[in-house]
Structure 1
């Protein structure tokens, strides 16, 4: 699997969420941005486990992604994050990202991986990013695929 392509595909999948009226669009990127325009989703750190199956047939990537919302109104910002972290609904990142798994028998992320799974949310808290503070959370996404490509 090519890490850069997988990052970008995760961000593209996340961009499909629809936020509540009046909030605007979720800005999504496959990389940690220099500055954040909230609300924002980005793919951060990656852990790579090679050779999970013989002959380079399976590698595992675990991405730590973040979603950040502004802090102009603490309650409203937390509601945005809550909507994004919900398991279903138009603003659900889990639903949008896992839609990129494809239909049964299809490759995930447009052919880049065998499968992916948004495993959990962690660290719902205030984040410092480029000198500003945001409310947000981390999302842990596991991607598996052919290690020889």
Structure 2
């Protein structure tokens, strides 16, 4: 798997989220940006386990991604974040990202990986990014694919 391509594909999948009226569009990047336009989703750190199957045929990656929401109104910001962290609905990041798994028998992320799964949310808290405060959380995304490509 080519890490940069996988990161970009996850960000593209996340951009399918539809936020409530008046919120604007979720901006997304496959890397940690210097500055953001909130609400913003980005793919940050990752761990990689090599050789999960014989002959470099399977690697497993675990991406930590973050979603940050402007805190102009604490309660409204948390409602927006809650909608994106929900397991269902048009604003759900889990639904949007896992839609990139493809149909049964298809490769995930447009052929870049064998499969992916949003496994958990963690770190729901205030974040500082480039000197500004946001409410946010981390989503953990597990991706498996061919280690030899």
The TM-score with structure 1 as length reference comes to 0.99
Moved over 4 A (4+): none
Unaligned runs of 5+ in 1: none
Paired residue total:
149
1:142 aligns with 2:142: yes
CA offsets 1:68-91 (integer angstroms, 9 cap, x no match): 000110011101100000101000
CA distance in 2: counterparts of 1:45 and 1:68, whole angstroms: 15
Q: Which residue of 2 aligns with 1:99?
A: 99
CA distance in 2: counterparts of 1:125 and 1:98, whole angstroms: 24
CA distance in 1: counterparts of 2:34 and 2:80, whole angstroms: 22
Unaligned runs of 5+ in 2: none
SS at match of 2:11: helix
Q: Which residue of 1 aligns with 2:81?
A: 81
CA distance in 2: counterparts of 1:72 and 1:5, whole angstroms: 34
- 1:17 to partner: Cα distance: 0.5
SS at match of 1:100: helix
SS at match of 2:96: helix
Q: Which residue of 2 aligns with 1:127?
A: 127
Q: Which residue of 2 aligns with 1:13?
A: 13
Q: Which residue of 2 aligns with 1:43?
A: 43
- 1:36 to partner: Cα distance: 1.4
The TM-score with structure 2 as length reference comes to 0.99
SS at match of 1:17: coil
Q: Which residue of 1 aligns with 2:116?
A: 116
CA distance in 1: counterparts of 2:71 and 2:98, whole angstroms: 28
